[in-house]
Amino acid sequence: MLNPRLETLLDSPFRRIDRLLEPIKPPSGLKPVILTVGEPQHPQPDLLAKVLRENEHDYGTYPPIPGTPEFRRAVADWLTRRYALPAGMIEPDRHIVPVSGTREGLFLLAPAVVPETKGGGKPLVLMPNPFYQAYIGAAVAAGAEPHYVAARAETDFLPDLASIGPANLARAALAYVCTPTNPQSTVGDLDWLKRVILLAREHDFVVAIDECYAEIYDRAPPPGGLEACAQLGGSMKNVIVFHSLSKRSSVPGLRSGFAAGDPEVIARYTRLRFYSVAGMPMPVFAASTALWREESHVEANRAIYRRKFDMAQRAIGNRFGFRRPAGGFYLWLDVGDGERVAKELWGKAAIKVLPGGYMARDVPGEVNPGKQYIRIALVADERATQEAMQRLAEAL
Ligand SMILES: Cc1ncc(COP(=O)(O)O)c(C=O)c1O
């Protein structure tokens, strides 16, 4: 007997794009550039290999699920510095737990917080539409109903959670939101974050704020959920933020991140994690501790993205609703028909991009909010990006 709930999960966007492009041959003289997956291809920080090597004797230990004290301290210090939080607001032992990448962390939060029923019905898990795949996987696996909140140009590509109405809000058990956003690379400001948090408290749901792109930004550092909590008086009730080294330090294969926030949620979530996750190897804890304490490699990483944003801006200009990413590293271009243009770019220019509709769901009575877009992940190195932007500008 298979779990029928999983029928809700479609094939991954990356399988779908491979299937779509399979019959199309890219031009033989052009080297393909893959801009579908958000996997940074920038140099890894030197610090990483050094610390991993120094700690390689430690693979003989099962990793502690709550992390090492040094890791939690480094994370608490980083959060406090990054978001100018009051000293002592983040207590390393109560407010932080490591995750093996935010994908795993986001997923496992749902079974820790979604009850059997809420507001007299099946619990809802709210998520923006389009959204990151782990959110729907989590909702479905936890036995909740995914509820999509459109994130279109009219709302600055942010979901307006209050728009779903009181009956749905009463059933909401968990909401996933993301800032900077994937796929649109916009940033929710402090007012938006505060509204989301106050709504979660009013209707008693947990809000998971996915901040894995927080350290990739063009000008101003994006504000964060815990910063909003501090401004609302300091309580982190109902709020969990997620951070990752995958984008910040260009190490998506390290599988290192953390969750932080409401101590009651962290306690319950950690208890579930003791029963499920493998944990981060000890050398990875040591390397992650060092990386959260070091900023110069992150600044260098941001500088590479800024140069690539310049290349994209020069190549695309004002066409297709181009916006320079305020945070994150995706271009979200309004090309009219994402699938058609993805095929064209592969066939004419050997560039692989994601049709925006693959990241969104069809909601009855609404236009799929991703359909008219393509998502371009600016993750290749600078030379490949320059080449890709030129080819893209010519092909479009
Ligand atoms: C919005 C969003 N959240 C979470 C993740 C997961 O990142 P990781 O598990 O590497 O921390 C990604 C990865 O691309 C993402 O785009």
Q: Are residues 207 and 320 in the same domain?
A: no
pLDDT of res. 140: 96
Q: Measured between alpha carbons, how far is 46 from 101 in angstroms, rounded to an integer?
A: 20
Cβ of 45 closer than 6 Å to ligand 1, yes or no, is no
Q: Which CA distances in Å does 16 have to 145, 186, 339?
A: 24, 25, 10
Question: Which of 37, 103, 108, 354 to probe ligand 1 with, by most ligand atoms within 8 A of CB?
Answer: 103
Q: What percent of the chain has pLDDT over 90?
A: 97
Domain C-terminal end among 244, 263, 294: 294
Average pLDDT over residues 112-129: 98
How far apart CA 295 and CA 279 sit, in angstroms, is 25
Q: Whose CA is nearest to atom 6 of ligand 1?
A: 103
Residue 138 belongs to domain with CATH number: 3.40.640.10
Are 82 and 167 within one domain? yes
Stretch 178-185: mean pLDDT: 98
Mutate to test the pocket of ligand 1, among 184, 185, 244 (most ligand atoms within 8 A of CB): 244
Q: Which residue in 327, 305, 298, 262 sits closest to 112, CA to CA? A: 262
In this structure, the answer to whether residues 290 and 301 fall within a common structural domain is no
Atom 15 in ligand 1: residue holding the nearest Cα = 132
**Residues 185 and 311 both lie in one domain:** no
Where does the pLDDT of residue 317 fall: very low under 50, low under 70, confident under 90, or very high at 90 and above?
A: very high
The CATH number of the domain holding residue 25 is: 3.90.1150.10
Evaluate whether residue 51 is within a structural domain: no
Residue type, 386: Q
- The last residue of a domain, from among 270, 294, 318: 294
Q: What is the pLDDT of residue 1?
A: 78
pLDDT tens digits for 141-174? Answer: 999 999 999 999 999 999 999 999 999 999 999 9
State the closest ligand 1 atom to the C-alpha of 38, by its place in the atom list counted from 1.
Answer: 14
Q: Take atom 14 of ligand 1 and give the residue whose Cα is closest.
A: 38
What was the pLDDT predicted at 366? 93
**First-residue to last-residue Cα distance in the chain:** 48
Residue 332 has pLDDT above 90, yes or no: yes
- Are 287 and 143 members of one domain? yes
**Residue 344 confidence (pLDDT):** 97
Return the pLDDT at 338: 98
> Is residue 52 in a domain?
no
Cα dihedral 54→60→66→67 (10° resolution): 0
Tokens standing for residue 129: 């539409």
Whether 305 and 172 map to the same domain: the answer is no
Q: Which structural domain range is residue 314 located in?
A: 4-43+297-395
Q: Are 280 and 158 members of one domain? A: yes
Q: How many domains does the chain have?
A: 2
**CB distance 38 to ligand 1 below 6 Å:** yes
The whole-number average pLDDT for the span 1-23 is 92
55: in domain: no
Long-range contact set of residues 316-325: C-beta below 8 Å, sequence gap at least 24 = 316/389, 316/392, 316/393, 316/396, 319/396, 320/396, 321/153, 323/185, 323/186, 324/218, 325/180, 325/185, 325/216, 325/218, 325/378
Query: Is residue 123 lining ligand 1, measured as CB closer than 6 Å?
Result: no
102 and 194 together in one domain: yes
Q: Is the pLDDT assigned to residue 10 strictly greater than 90?
A: no
More confident residue, 10 or 237: 237
Helix, strand or coil for residue 322?
A: coil
Which residue, of 294, 316, 331, is where some domain finishes? 294
* Consecutive H or E run containing 147: strand 145-150
Q: Which residues contact 7 (CB under 8 A, 6 or more apart)?
A: none
Atom of ligand 1 nearest to the CA of 244: 11
Residue whose tokens read 């704020």:
209
Q: Is residue 50 part of a domain?
A: no
Residue 116, domain member (yes or no): yes
**Same domain for 212 and 154:** yes
Residue 288 counted as domain residue: yes
Average pLDDT, the chain: 97
Query: In the prediction, which pLDDT does 2 show?
Result: 84
In a domain, 174, yes or no: yes
Mark whether 24 and 109 lie in a shared domain: no
Residue 146: inside a domain, yes or no?
yes
User: Does the CB atom of residue 178 touch ligand 1 within 6 A?
Assistant: yes
